[in-house]
Every structure is written in structure tokens, then in C-alpha cells.
Structure 1
Amino acid sequence: MLTDEAGTVTGDLTVHTTWTEREARVAVQYSGASDWFTMSGSPVPCATEEESRDLHDAVVEAVREGNGATVPTLPGPLV
């Protein structure tokens, strides 16, 4: 997956999505490490907490697929 700070990261990763004030922020870390990196494309507008959960699921799937994943676009308006 592609991050703003570290470029491409691969391997055993942990994904964390935070929703606040109509925005979702996605971060990733190597599992067991302490440093978090911003996933490229984050933050994104996200109207509800439910939409942020859908976004998180889509991010996890994109990370599993690999290929330099960035925050995916969900169908429908997120604002």
C-alpha cells in the first residue's frame, strides 16, 4: 500500500480508520510496530460513522489486494 510518509509498505499491516467531523482518516502500521503512516488519499469526506466503517472495509480489501493501494473511492456521495 502507498503511504504519504514512507512510500510503499508491504507485509503484515494493521489498518486504523478514525471518523470525526464528517471526515475519515486512514492510517497503517506494520503489525506490532509503534509508528503509524497516513495512507495516501487520506483524509476523505465521510458523512457518517457508518460510511466510515464501509470505507474501512474497502481499505482493508484494497490492502489485501496490494498493488500500491490507496484509499479507495466508495460508490455514492460521502459528503
Structure 2
Amino acid sequence: MGEQAVTGAGATPAPKQMPDAGGEDAAAATGGGAGPTTAGPTTAGMTVDGAPAASADVSGAGMSADAVPATPAGGAPAVGPQQRTTDITAGPGGVMTDEAGVVTGELTLRTEYADGQVTLRVQYKDADEWYAVTGGKTALADPAGLDAVHAVAVALLDRPEG
């Protein structure tokens, strides 16, 4: 590995310092020594020549902390109730529901999102009645998480091999 030049203020090379055996340099840097101390950096960001860190635009990077659901072809973002459905086979013991008790066999699982809540429902495949899965309702702050919740529910409830 080669050496790299380190510059101080005014683009002048910073003097090389050798660590001392007594640890006085470390104590001075943290305020524990007898000499004057200067305030250290207040952020974990890296700066060049003491210039304050500037925020970076990373548009197009594929991620955003304030992500919103994709805009459909109509132009406005999707709002209101959303749902995902998948056909499953209940494992041993079936799926417990609030209305009908345990349901077994070939089922359809529906994961619904509305008003900040996600709800799991099942029905016998191709039937008309839907049943709320016992314990299958919780708050979901971001509707973008609907796909993940549905995937986890399918993974837990779809047990065709038993």
C-alpha cells in the first residue's frame, strides 16, 4: 500500500505525528490533557480541508426514504384500499379464523391495506365468503410494505407438503 498525502488547512501538508507511549496526544485530543483543546467534528461525515459536509443529490439511485407508491398510468398515485391475493394450501391444523374457526384445504389468502391497517383474510378457493384470520390485523404505516406483509403471510400459511 502506498502513502497518501494528507493536507491541512490552506492545502499545506499536515505534519507527520508519531504516537507517544504515554498517550498524551490522545488525552489532549479528548480534552483530558493539560493543554488547550479544540472541538472535534460534530458529524460522522467526512470533510476535505475542514470544509463543512454538503448534502449530496442521489436521485436515480433507486432508493428514497420518502418513497411513495408508484404512479399508475392515469397520473395520480394509488390511494385507498389495496390488496394482494394468492392461492394457498393450509398446513396441518388449518388456518384459524374469527368467524368460522379453523379452515383447511385449498384456500385463497387476501392481504388488504386500508386506513393504515393491514388485514389477512381467507376463503375456501372459489367461494364467496371471506373470513378474517385470527390475529391477522395490525397497523402498517406505509402501504409500500403491503407486498412484504403478503409474502410473509403466504410463507407462513401455505404448507402444501404439510
TM-score, normalization: structure 2? 0.38
- What SS is found at the alignment partner of 1:57? helix
Deviations 1:3-60, CA, capped at 9 Å, x for gaps: 1111111111101111112110111000011110000113211111221221111111
Amino acid at match of 2:139: P
Give the match for residue 38 of structure 1. 132
Amino acid at match of 2:131: F
Looking at secondary structure, tell me which structure has more helix per residue: 1
Query: Matches of 2:149 and 2:114 in 1, distance apart?
Result: 14
- What SS is found at the alignment partner of 2:149? helix
State, as a whole percentage, how many aligned pairs show the same letter: 30
- What SS is found at the alignment partner of 1:40? strand
Give the match for residue 38 of structure 2. none
Number of aligned residues: 66
Amino acid at match of 2:130: W
Q: Which of 66, 88, 112 is equivalent to 1:18?
A: 112
Q: Which of 33, 53, 59 is equivalent to 2:147?
A: 53
CA RMSD of aligned residues (A): 1.5
Looking at secondary structure, tell me which structure has more strand per residue: 1
Segments of 5+ residues of structure 1 without an aligned counterpart are 67-79
- What SS is found at the alignment partner of 2:136? coil
Q: Which has the larger radius of gyration?
A: 2
Give the match for residue 96 of structure 2. 2
